[in-house]
Amino acid sequence: MTWRVCEEGFDSSRITSNGNKFMTGNGYMGYRGTMEEYTKNELVACNLPGVYDRVGNKWREPVNAPNGLFTSLAVEGKSIGVLQEKPVCHRQMLDIREGLHWRNTVWDTAYGRVTVEAERFASLSAYHMLCLKYTVRLEKSCEITIKTGIDGDVWDINGPHLEGFSCEQAGDVIRVQSITQELMVPIVVAEACKRSFIAEETIEKQDKGIFRIIKWCSEPDTAYTFYKYVSVYTGKDNVTDMVEAAGEAVLKTAEAGYIRASQDHAACWKTRWEDADVVIEGDEQDQLALRYSIYQLEIIAPFHAQDQSIPARGLSGQTYKGAIFWDTELFMLPFFLHTHPDAAKSLIRYRIKSLNGARRKAACYGYRGAFYAWESQENGDDACSDYNVTDVFTGRPVRTYFKDKQVHISAAIAYAIWEFYRYTGDMSILSEGGAEVILECARFYHSYAYFKEDKDRYEILDVIGPDEYHERVNNNAYTNRMVHHTLEAALQVLQLLKEGNPEVYAELLEKLDYSGEIANIARMKEKLYVIQPDEKTLVIEQFDGYHRLEDCSLAEVKNRLLDPREYWGGGHGVASDTRIIKQADVVLMLYLFRDTYHSEVLKANWTYYEPRTEHGSSLSPCIYALLSCETGNAEWAYPFFKKSASIDLTGESKQFAGTIYIGGTHPAANGGAWMSAILGFAGLCVRDGRVSVTPNLPQKWSRLAFKVNVRGEKYSIELTHDRQNIVKLG
């Protein structure tokens, strides 16, 4: 069973993690893996990425739409649901091949056996649609009451975001209209419900919801099935009349029927898998975990939009403010670039679209150029607060510097644009705004850096590198090297445009008033301090003075915690004065620039930093996997691959930063799992449109097969321990 994720039995302590694990979605919306009878208390969410709202001075976060799939059951007036009555049998399943969520629950009640079976999906062929098939069967003849409709009383972390509710019935359609309270973005959810059995149906209106109350007397052992068609529209969609569009969508889908809707949806999934599937032979668990990681990436991919990106917790809710981090550029983009270049383009365009936000941020701190938001929302303004964690002991907000000092974010964006261009060979991304972004990032770094006369070099001081536990450090090896790359990319982009598109080049220089800047960038590139490996140990010091910190073990640092939710970094964190780091930092830099280092340097740093890494971020293990593959050590890489690939299956991840809930799905780890398998174990390398592999498969794997899209051509690649086959598909 390498296409199904299943869980048997009902365990209320797993409601939250299963909400993540059994997610469905289509990029336009994400629907959590909850039961139909759940409400906001069980964190039901139909999450709408890109529609953000702020209540008072609470954190801004994405909006959850009213839940059009809400359905509860009562038998002889008594509520039956997993929360009310312990089921004798309960199965929850995700079919990742066709993007279907399924549950089957059986209760032994005073009225005999009651069975509910429900299947649903967020349509990949019609992005506004959710469809549900719900069947109830009773052993005895009883009165059944189904309450089904649209529940607008939604789960919010920093809400309530929706107001101005209007709940109406119009013919066969019921709908809930509301608006977000900050920007007054209208949200419309419409529902049509079809059944072929006779029942009495009335409508119940509430302040924030509208429901059908469907009542009938069941025949013994007879299945009663109804279908719900739900559409979601927001004021951000390009439609003139949302109410009409929402109503038409549900009626049209209902008219065609559930089978048709699910066939269209399945056909889209088939196409997606044709491009993105990876076959692993030799270990079924690895196969499932990697497919599941790919599934998670597919359900959040912005295929429906031209310039939308992906939040760090996917579409699983409002944690991390639904914001876009560097996770997208460095950890998710490679998957999309190799499998769905159009979706990759949307991710890049989002950064182009939000360039002005980055300029505002730079200006706000007194710099020139583009300082991208650490936590970016729709306009590129930074949602990150100055106090991003709370102290578990006092409940007080702790001053963190992620927003002001994690300057490496701009370099990750420049890196991603450059990689997109290199991979696709598509110059248009540069003239469309990509060049402008890179140039503005380079300009930002020039204004951020210090030139040290005595050392005759530029230094980058007072930053946070990827390892967030050490704040406000000088010359972080990762940051400095990434900045160097940005400067290099800026100069190369200028050269490319000058030669290939002189008009755009001239326009850009004028628009950005950049002529004088070129010399600055070139000089800084020559004189920027890029931290070198120590001559004896080959270790690259993570930042100035890192080697003077206490060198104690990870276990020792853990031992010092007084509360398991304590934040390890910042002013008083248990890791702050030690060499224990949160996540891959130097090792990430070495992976990204692996071609420029001797493999002994890669090995020495992996060996030095790994025992000192907490892997407290889900971004970390995959990078250790990738770097060990680079040094030819697949067996070291393997456990890190496994950790990355299974994070959302096991639910084993940090749930709190201080007292702040940070749970949800982990798309960066999902992307990292794909990278570990394809760029790591398969050693895929695409240079100037040419495809090559340097396989180094884990012992257990007997075969690895996948496809890549290179400049519009598709290649099928198949590897075993002693064979490799790359075929260009016609």
Q: DSSP 3-state assignment of 189? A: strand
Report how far residue 53's alpha carbon sits from residue 58's, in angstroms, rounded to the nearest whole number.
10
Q: Residue 619 Cβ, how far from ligand BGC at the closest point, in Å? A: 5
Candidate ranges 68-76, 165-173, 324-332, 351-359; the one touching ligand BGC (CB under 6 A): 324-332
- Active-site option among 191, 375, 440, 468: 468
- Checking phi first, is residue 99 left (phi over 0); if not, alpha (psi -120 to 50) or beta? left
x/- track of binding to ligand BGC for residues 133-152 (CB under 6 A): --------------------
Q: Residue 17 Cβ, how far from ligand BGC at the closest point, in Å? A: 17
Count the site residues for ligand BGC by CB under 6 A: 12
Q: Residue 548 Cβ, how far from ligand BGC at the closest point, in Å? A: 23
412 binds ligand BGC (CB under 6 A): no
Nearer of residues 388 and 424 to ligand BGC, judged by Cβ: 388
Report how far residue 468's alpha carbon sits from residue 615's, in angstroms, rounded to the nearest whole number.
12
DSSP 41: G
Q: Residue 453 Cβ, how far from ligand BGC at the closest point, in Å? A: 34
Q: Residue 529 Cβ, how far from ligand BGC at the closest point, in Å? A: 23
Nearer of residues 287 and 617 to ligand BGC, judged by Cβ: 617
CA distances to 67, 188, 242, 355, 639 from 245, in Å: 18, 10, 5, 32, 49
Report how far residue 339's alpha carbon sits from residue 279's, in angstroms, rounded to the nearest whole number.
14
Nearer of residues 662 and 705 to ligand BGC, judged by Cβ: 662
Q: Are 36 and 311 in contact (CB under 8 A)?
A: no
Nearer of residues 312 and 497 to ligand BGC, judged by Cβ: 312
Kindly write down the DSSP assignment for every residue of 118-182, as one continuous string.
Answer: EEEEE-SSSTTEEEEEEEEEESS--EEEEEEEEE-----SS---EEEEEEEEETTEEEEEEEETT
Q: Residue 167 Cβ, how far from ligand BGC at the closest point, in Å? A: 37
Residue 468 annotated as catalytic: yes
Closest CA to 152 of 36, 95, 255, 67: 67
333 binds ligand BGC (CB under 6 A): no
185 binds ligand BGC (CB under 6 A): no
Report how far residue 677's alpha carbon sits from residue 683's, in angstroms, rounded to the nearest whole number.
8
Q: Residue 666 Cβ, how far from ligand BGC at the closest point, in Å? A: 7
Nearer of residues 53 and 327 to ligand BGC, judged by Cβ: 327
Give me the sign of the Cα torsion angle 449, 450, 455, 456: positive
Nearer of residues 480 and 583 to ligand BGC, judged by Cβ: 583
x/- track of binding to ligand BGC for residues 448-467 (CB under 6 A): ------------------x-
Nearer of residues 17 and 583 to ligand BGC, judged by Cβ: 583
Candidate ranges 302-310, 321-329, 341-349, 596-604; the one touching ligand BGC (CB under 6 A): 321-329
The DSSP element (H or E) to which 491 belongs, if any, is helix 477-500
Nearer of residues 99 and 569 to ligand BGC, judged by Cβ: 569
Q: Residue 11 Cβ, how far from ligand BGC at the closest point, in Å? A: 27
Number of C-alpha atoms within 13 angstroms, CB side, residue 536?
A: 0
> Which residue of 602, 668, 682, 710 would you call a contact of ligand BGC, by CB under 6 A?
668
Q: Quickly tell me which residue has 């990029």 as its tokens.
A: 27
Nearer of residues 385 and 617 to ligand BGC, judged by Cβ: 617
Q: Tell me the two tokens of residue 224.
A: 């009663």
3-state secondary structure 48-60: EEEEEECCCCCCC
Report how far residue 579's alpha carbon sits from residue 585's, in angstroms, rounded to the nearest whole number.
12
Q: Residue 314 Cβ, how far from ligand BGC at the closest point, in Å? A: 10
> Which residue of 10, 325, 415, 636 would you call a contact of ligand BGC, by CB under 6 A?
325
> Which residue of 468, 517, 566, 614 would you call a contact of ligand BGC, by CB under 6 A?
468
Q: Quickly tell me which residue has 């396989």 as its tokens.
A: 695
In sequence order, the β-bridge partners of residue 227 are: 133, 194
Candidate ranges 206-214, 318-326, 534-542, 710-718; the one touching ligand BGC (CB under 6 A): 318-326
Nearer of residues 327 and 404 to ligand BGC, judged by Cβ: 327
> Which residue of 23, 74, 126, 312 would you call a contact of ligand BGC, by CB under 6 A?
312
Nearer of residues 339 and 613 to ligand BGC, judged by Cβ: 613
Q: Residue 129 Cβ, how far from ligand BGC at the closest point, in Å? A: 30
CA distances to 17, 575, 583 from 623, in Å: 25, 21, 9
> Which residue of 37, 95, 327, 404 would you call a contact of ligand BGC, by CB under 6 A?
327
326 binds ligand BGC (CB under 6 A): yes
Report how far residue 531's alpha carbon sits from residue 673's, in angstroms, rounded to the nearest whole number.
29
> Which residue of 583, 605, 696, 709 would you call a contact of ligand BGC, by CB under 6 A?
583
Closest CA to 537 of 627, 609, 632, 634: 609
Report how far residue 461's alpha carbon sits from residue 439's, in angstroms, rounded to the nearest whole number.
21
Residue ranges in 609-648 that form contacts with ligand BGC under rule CB under 6 A: 617, 619
587 binds ligand BGC (CB under 6 A): no
Query: At 453, which amino acid appears?
Result: E
x/- track of binding to ligand BGC for residues 494-523 (CB under 6 A): ------------------------------
Report how far residue 21's alpha carbon sits from residue 14's, in angstroms, rounded to the nearest whole number.
10
Report how far residue 512's alpha carbon sits from residue 301's, in angstroms, rounded to the nearest whole number.
32
Instruction: List all residues 6 or more positions away from 62 whose beta carbon is below 8 Å from its beta carbon.
Output: 47, 48, 49, 50, 51, 52, 53, 311, 318, 321, 322
Q: Residue 614 Cβ, how far from ligand BGC at the closest point, in Å? A: 10
Query: At 46, which amino acid appears?
Result: C
Closest CA to 477 of 358, 333, 592: 592
Q: DSSP 3-state assignment of 481? A: helix
Q: DSSP 3-state assignment of 646? A: helix
Kindly write down the DSSP assignment for every residue of 168-183, as one continuous string.
Answer: EEETTEEEEEEEETTT
Nearer of residues 451 and 661 to ligand BGC, judged by Cβ: 661
In sequence order, the β-bridge partners of residue 661 are: 656
Report how far residue 430's alpha carbon sits from residue 500's, in angstroms, rounded to the nearest whole number.
11
- Checking phi first, is residue 689 left (phi over 0); if not, alpha (psi -120 to 50) or beta? left
CA distances to 127, 234, 451, 711 from 29, in Å: 8, 11, 47, 29
- The values of phi and psi at residue 186, to 5°, are -70, 145
Q: Residue 570 Cβ, how far from ligand BGC at the closest point, in Å? A: 12
Candidate ranges 60-68, 85-93, 208-216, 322-330; the one touching ligand BGC (CB under 6 A): 322-330
Q: Residue 375 Cβ, how far from ligand BGC at the closest point, in Å? A: 8
In sequence order, the β-bridge partners of residue 7 are: 92
Q: Which residues are catalytic?
A: 468
Which residues form the interface with ligand BGC (CB under 6 A)?
Answer: 312, 320, 325-327, 466, 468, 582-583, 617, 619, 668
